[in-house]
Structure formats: structure tokens, C-alpha cells
């Protein structure tokens, strides 16, 4: 979606400027200026290309904020969104599996093996105690005593080994593997966000309440990326554009109130000066000298309250006067 200037409404600007210049030379002060209604249009587009499947509005209709405007075909975007969702689920499951460690059945087997090792270690400890007493009395040889001692040490080592294996199984995957799986899951989440964005961009809604000024494509036509499909004219973007002679221009400033007479309206409308052009324009002849300096005019714009501008249309001629003080 982007905003841009609409081509200037084709009206008799030169005649309005000439009249403004004549009035600007009057020594009795400003009495009025001529101009027309103009609007800043909002062009609604999609950043992605595609065939126009649905055009939900018609030219000249009024839409509320958030109302659907159009939809482009998005089968590829929806498929990409579904694929990204499945990849995210797989990545998250892998991460969860690494964090859990071994399966409960594997941990139970290790616990049982550790219990057996402890039992064997306890048995060899008792046997070593008996052998110590016999060896002290000289009933057995040193080799038999050493055999009992080494057997107990081996059983104690087996206990330590099985305990370490059980602890490792409960820890889950290695730290670097868990970190890598987490990064992969975050990447999959980002891919899903991008896929959802692509699908959402194929459907555009009105950013504000506005008049549908024009529809630029028909259903079935191919729309290039960034090409406007609908142009909107919000009431807040309607303004009066008029031309003021040099002497009067010097008296105006932004924020001044002016009275705008529109044909067909029973009473003039109040407007506020919002823009004064820094660039002068000339009425014929174009030559600038002292004799025709009075033909120098400036463009001025005045904004209406949105509720007052709802029934105005670009191109309508207007007569503008300073508001009564």
C-alpha cells in the first residue's frame, strides 16, 4: 500500500489564477480567490504479484475502515505456509526430544543394571572382609587375598560406571546439539512468519473509511507487484486549492481560517490553510518584469474537517474568502 499524488484535475486554472492576480492588486484588501476541490488519493496495492481473484468494491462506493478491497490468488503462499508449519513442528519435536534425554524404558534398564552392580559390589565387599580376617590369621595366601581385593575394586568401579551412564541418560542431548536444534527451531518459526505474511499480503483491506474513487483492474487480470488495484479518497484528504496574488499571499499563513463557497452547498464551508506554495506561478505573459509583476500568483491549500468534506468531489470549482474575524 502506498500514497501518491493524483493527476491534477483538469479545470480552467489559468482563468482562476488570472482572477486571483487581479484581486491581489486591489488596494482595498483581499476580497476572494478562485480555485477548485482537490484530493490526496490512497493507492492500495499488494507487494506481491498475482492474478486478481476477487474485487470486493465498486467504483463510487463508500467503504468502512477494515472492509475487504481485493484478493489475489495465493495458492502458492498458502502451500508455503503449510510447509513451514510442518517444518516448525518437526524442529520443535526434535528439540524437545533432545531436552528429554533417553526414553523411560532405557533409563529403567540402566537403573536395573546399576542395582545389579551395587549388589555385586556389596557381595565382593563382604567376601573381602572375610578374606582380610583369614589372611591376617595366615589361613590363606597373599595371592588369594589379592584376588578378593581386586574383585571388590572391579565391582566398585562397575557401580561408578553404571551410575555415570544413568546420569548421562537423564541429561538429554549434548549442550551443543541442543543449541543447534534450538536455532533450527527458531529459523523454522521465522520461515512460518514469512510464509504467513506472504499469504496475508495477497488480501488487502481499507486502511480507513473512504470513497472508492477508482478500481484499476478487473477480476482475472494479472497484477504486478506494487501495482495499485484500488484508489481511495478519505474525507480527511479532501482540500480546497486556490490561487492568491502576491499582496494577499503575504497576509496568509498556515492555520488561518478561510470560507469556501461550493456550488450546490447552502452555506460556505470553513477550512484551514494547510499549505502555501513556496514557488510562484505566472499568468500569461510569462515574462517577468515590473509591469506584469502583479500577475504573480501562489498556490494555497486549505483542509476541511472530515465530516464537512464527505460530500465534496475533486474538480468542483470554489470561491474562497478570508474568514470573518
Torsion of CA 237, 310, 209, 253, to 10 degrees: 30
What is the arithmetic mean of pLDDT over 276-300? 68
Write the CA distances from 26 to 18, 21, 54, 74, 160, integer angstroms. 13, 9, 57, 63, 108
Which fold would CATH assign to domain 2-43+232-322? Elongation Factor Tu (Ef-tu); domain 3 (2.40.30)
For the ranges 171-180, 187-196, 298-307, the lowest mean pLDDT is seen at 171-180
Of residues 285 and 37, more confidence is placed in 37
Is the pLDDT score of 319 beyond 90? yes
pLDDT at site 323: 84
- 277 phi, psi to nearest 5 deg: -65, 135
Give CA–CA dist 307/314, Å, rounded. 16
* DSSP code, position 294: G
Is the pLDDT score of 36 beyond 90? yes
Is the pLDDT score of 126 beyond 50? yes
Q: Where are the domains of the chain?
A: 2-43+232-322, 82-194
Confidence band for 31, pLDDT divided at 50, 70 and 90: low
pLDDT at site 164: 87
* DSSP code, position 286: -
The winner for highest mean pLDDT among 155-169, 217-231, 251-265 is 217-231
Bridge partners, residue 269, by sequence: 260
- List pLDDT tens digits, range 53-106: 999 999 999 999 999 999 999 999 999 999 999 999 999 999 988 887 777 888
Amino acid at each position: 500500500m502506498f500514497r501518491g499524488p493524483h493527476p491534477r484535475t483538469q479545470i480552467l486554472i489559468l482563468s482562476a489564477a488570472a482572477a486571483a492576480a487581479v484581486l491581489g492588486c486591489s488596494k482595498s484588501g483581499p476580497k476572494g480567490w478562485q480555485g477548485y476541490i482537490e484530493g490526496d488519493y490512497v493507492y492500495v496495492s499488494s507487494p506481491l504479484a498475482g492474478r486478481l481473484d476477487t474485487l470486493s468494491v465498486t467504483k463510487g462506493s463508500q467503504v468502512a475502515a477494515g472492509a475487504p478491497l481485493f484478493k489475489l490468488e495465493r495458492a502458492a503462499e498458502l502451500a508455503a505456509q503449510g510447509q513451514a508449519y510442518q517444518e516448525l513442528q518437526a524442529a520443535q519435536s526434535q528439540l524437545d526430544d533432545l531436552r528429554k534425554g533417553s526414553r523411560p524404558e532405557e533409563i529403567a534398564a540402566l537403573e536395573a543394571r546399576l542395582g545389579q552392580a551395587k549388589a555385586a559390589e556389596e557381595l565382593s565387599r563382604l567376601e573381602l572382609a572375610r578374606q582380610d580376617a583369614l589372611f591376617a590369621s595366615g589361613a590363606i595366601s597373599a595371592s588369594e587375598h589379592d584376588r578378593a581385593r581386586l574383585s571388590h575394586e572391579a565391582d566398585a568401579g562397575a557401580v561408578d560406571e553404571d551410575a555415570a551412564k544413568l546420569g548421562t541418560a537423564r541429561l538429554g542431548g549434548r549442550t551443543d546439539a541442543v543449541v543447534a536444534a534450538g536455532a533450527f527451531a527458531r529459523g523454522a518459526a521465522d520461515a512460518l512468519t514469512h510464509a504467513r505474511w506472504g499469504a496475508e499480503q495477497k488480501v488487502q483491506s481499507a486502511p480507513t473509511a473512504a470513497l472508492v474513487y477508482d478500481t484499476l483492474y478487473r477480476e482475472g487480470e494479472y497484477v504486478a507487484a506494487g501495482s495499485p488495484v484500488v484508489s481511495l479518497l478519505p474525507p480527511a484528504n479532501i482540500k480546497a486549492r486556490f490561487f492568491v496574488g502576491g499582496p494577499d499571499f503575504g497576509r496568509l499563513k498556515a492555520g488561518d481560517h478561510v470560507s469556501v463557497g461550493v456550488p450546490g452547498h447552502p452555506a460556505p464551508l470553513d477550512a484551514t490553510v494547510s499549505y502555501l506554495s513556496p514557488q510562484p506561478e505566472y499568468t500569461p505573459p510569462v515574462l517577468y518584469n515590473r509591469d506584469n509583476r502583479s500577475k504573480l500568483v501562489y498556490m494555497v491549500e486549505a483542509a476541511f474537517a472530515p465530516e464537512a468534506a464527505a460530500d465534496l468531489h475533486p474538480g468542483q470549482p470554489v470561491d474562497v474568502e478570508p474568514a470573518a474575524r
